Structure 1
Amino acid sequence: MDAATSGRPLRRDAERNRRRTLHAAEELFARHGLDVTLDDVARHAGLGVGTVYRRFANKEELIEALFEEKVAALAGLAERAAAAPDPGAALIDFLTEACTRHALDHGLREISLSNRYAPARIAVVKERLVPAIRTLVARAQSAGALRADFTAEDVPVVLLMVGAAADFGQQADPQAWRRYLVLLLDGLPVTRRCATALPRPSLTEEELAAATARFSPPRR
């Protein structure tokens, strides 16, 4: 545990290095996921490996320091939505924001949807999400705003689908996932008087071919 998490104040240069480390890790984790090493982080931060290891004994400590707040923000988002006056709009708003955060941050997607990296404090925060999401879904269905066969367990799969679309279209159009998010969310309400305007055009035949050539599905 570093001084920042133990309550002891860091020297100015030590705090500066800690912030550089966290900023570098945030960029790398968002772009490449959690398989990034501490050596990679040190190199990206322009710091010596020993400096990074003095602040964080291992990658799990770094992940916890970086993602606890992000996961807590998702939990808070779900809890506020679960208390919002319009249950149907609240669910759609939550899914839109949660999918956006996951599409833009590969590391957040992994930490939220997998137990591969689950430091203790993050695991506790993740437990807050489940009851809030169940409440969101139940309220929307009771209000007649959500199809009856949608379940709270569908939510992480929806996040995963949008994240996969973001990965797939990254080279052709980094914002292409927004189109598929709208297509997906428009299928959730029981009725829709008119379809939501799609925020992005479909990929061209050439872009789709290029994306397919570059895309490598995760290894099992």
Structure 2
Amino acid sequence: MSTTDQHADLERPLRADAARNRELILQTARKCFAERGLSVTLNDIAHEAGVGVGTVYRRFADKDSLIEALLATKFDAMNAAAERAAAEIDPRESLRLYLMGVFEFRARDRALADAIVRAGKARPSIVHERDRLERQVTAIIGRARDAGVVRVGFDYRDLPMLTTMIGAVADATRAHDPDAWRRYAKVVIDGVLPPVDPDGMLGAPLDRETIERALHAQS
């Protein structure tokens, strides 16, 4: 079967059982990629989903096709988060809501950063959604800049690095304190949006034993 025929086959309306299998595979892949990153194989996903590997390949030609299907849902969620943030009247709160939202996405999903990097080579509909997200977030940052509440020089292009920083904390502490990343996300957000009246740190620092276990797991 040619690649064109294969893609055409994958896009035909599915029978009810095939549609259920496709959704099961997507849900399982989302969970596996979020917890373990993009090194997960289609065989791993099939095993986790309790279906044959052939069933996975009938729905997705390869892992890249599966990742593209998940990318679409990730950008849908991030664009929806940007729309909610943009609806906030206060420019500072609007940007704070978006930053905390994207940090939370990354804290839950190890594969988010790698998946977004792949978006540039994805099908046009995904590239369109990525570009729409960039426009939305740039507008949110622009409002904050016009209001004088965001640090001078902050740019949409800073987000991947900030998200990576928070993601590293989330990955290191997930087994010990799943919410530890929030403490450090607030520090980052206060750096981007300097508060007029600084409040205290969020939550409490990890104890020495927990820090040592978390950092040891990363080495």
TM bracket (short chain): 0.7 to 0.9
**Cα shift at 1:63:** 1.2
Residues 156-171 of structure 1: pairs in structure 2 closer than 5 A: 156-171=160-175
Counterparts in 2 of 1:21 and 1:117: CA distance versus 1, 3 Å: farther
**What letter matches 1:81 in structure 2?**
A
**What letter matches 2:108 in structure 1?**
L
Matches of 1:54 and 1:119, distance apart in 2: 20
Q: CA-atom RMSD, angstroms?
A: 2.0
Q: Give the secondary structure class of the aligned counterpart of 1:171.
A: coil
Matches of 1:76 and 1:111, distance apart in 2: 18
Matches of 1:55 and 1:118, distance apart in 2: 21
* Number of equivalenced pairs: 212
Aligned mate of 1:40, from 40, 44, 49: 44
Partner of 1:212: 215
Instruction: Show structure 2 runs of 5+ residues with no match.
Output: 1-6
The TM-score normalised by the length of structure 2 is: 0.88
Are the counterparts in 2 of residues 111 and 117 from structure 1 also a CA contact under 8 Å? Answer: no
Partner of 2:82: 78
Matches of 2:53 and 2:45, distance apart in 1: 9
Partner of 2:54: 50
**Cα shift at 1:197:** 5.1
Matches of 1:207 and 1:25, distance apart in 2: 30
The TM-score normalised by the length of structure 1 is: 0.87
2:22 aligned with 1:11 = no
**Cα shift at 1:138:** 1.7
**What letter matches 1:70 in structure 2?**
K
Residues 69-218 of structure 1: pairs in structure 2 closer than 5 A: 69-82=73-86, 84-112=88-116, 114-115=117-118, 118-120=121-123, 121-195=125-199, 198=202, 200-216=203-219
Counterparts in 2 of 1:27 and 1:178: CA distance versus 1, 3 Å: same
Percentage of pairs with the same residue: 39
Q: 1:88-123, CA deviations, whole angstroms, 9 ceiling, x for partnerless residues?
A: 1100000111110111011223212x2388421322
Counterparts in 2 of 1:189 and 1:116: CA distance versus 1, 3 Å: closer
Instruction: Show structure 1 runs of 5+ residues with no match.
Output: none
